[in-house]
Amino acid sequence: MNSIVLEREVKTDPCMDAVENIESGFIFIAGPTCSGKTTLAYTLKGFYEQKDIGVTVISQEDYYKDWKNIPWSYKGYLTDVRDAFYMDEFVRDFKKYLKDGKAEIPLFDMQVHKRISKQYIKRTPITIVEGLHVISTFYGMVDALYLYMDVPIKRCAELRANRDQKFERMKRDDSIFHFIECIEPFYDDQVFPQKDYEGVLIFTPGS
């Protein structure tokens, strides 16, 4: 937990208490691409499991559409917009998880850009849901702790370019261009507003 730093006009101790002392419930983690959502989710999972508290992690990325179904413009694919995901299915599966205590959800492979199988999840004391739009999607559906990864967008672009170079074999300049033209323009409307929802705690990865 030492790698997590809190920011906002709130005291650090109460915020850390909200994360460290939870023993059951839901945690939703939203924020820009490459801001550390998945890293935080699994950091928390490891932290709670050391305390013998079971954790289920659900990722919005598993609800990506195949490339042929992702919205696009003449400048490139719109990979970070809500319509790039099967959001209705995401909500439906989550509601089934709430009702039945279990659900069958997709498993998406980012390497090949398609679903490769299904995964079965069962209700655990703590459920962590992470993804670009999870606060705006699930806010108010259940009592929960909402966390927003407040990382400068330029830093996210750099990290995205690093990832694209490694996994997509995309040139760095092409990745940055794609980010500026096809990803960032939608953030003011679809991603950034989530940090202003009432009760949302703002996280930023530390050094």
What percentage of the chain carries pLDDT values higher than 90?
56
**Mean pLDDT, rounded, of the chain:** 87
Give the mean model confidence (pLDDT) for residues 187-200. Answer: 95
Position 206 confidence tier, pLDDT thresholds 50, 70, 90: low
Position 16 confidence tier, pLDDT thresholds 50, 70, 90: low
Alpha-carbon distance of 99 to 95, in angstroms, equals 6
pLDDT of residue 67: 85
Give the mean model confidence (pLDDT) for residues 166-184. Answer: 81
Q: Given the DSSP bridges, would you call strands 144-149 and 25-30 parallel, antiparallel or unpaired? A: parallel
Position 11 confidence tier, pLDDT thresholds 50, 70, 90: very low
Domain spanning 4-205: which CATH class is it, in words? alpha beta
pLDDT of residue 168: 66
205 pLDDT above the threshold of 90: no
Alpha-carbon distance of 13 to 6, in angstroms, equals 9
The more confident residue out of 93 and 36 is 93
pLDDT of residue 167: 66
The more confident residue out of 176 and 5 is 176
Q: Residue 92: how many CB atoms within 10 A of its CB?
A: 12
pLDDT of residue 194: 97
Q: Summarize pLDDT for 65-121 with one digit per residue, the tens.
A: 998 899 888 778 888 999 999 999 999 999 999 999 999 999 998 878 889 999 999
Residue 159, H or E segment: helix 153-163
Alpha-carbon distance of 43 to 1, in angstroms, equals 7
pLDDT of residue 173: 82
Query: Quick one: which of 124, 135, 121 has its CA closest to 202?
Result: 135
124 pLDDT above the threshold of 70: yes
The more confident residue out of 180 and 58 is 58
Give the mean model confidence (pLDDT) for residues 141-167. Answer: 86
The more confident residue out of 14 and 157 is 157
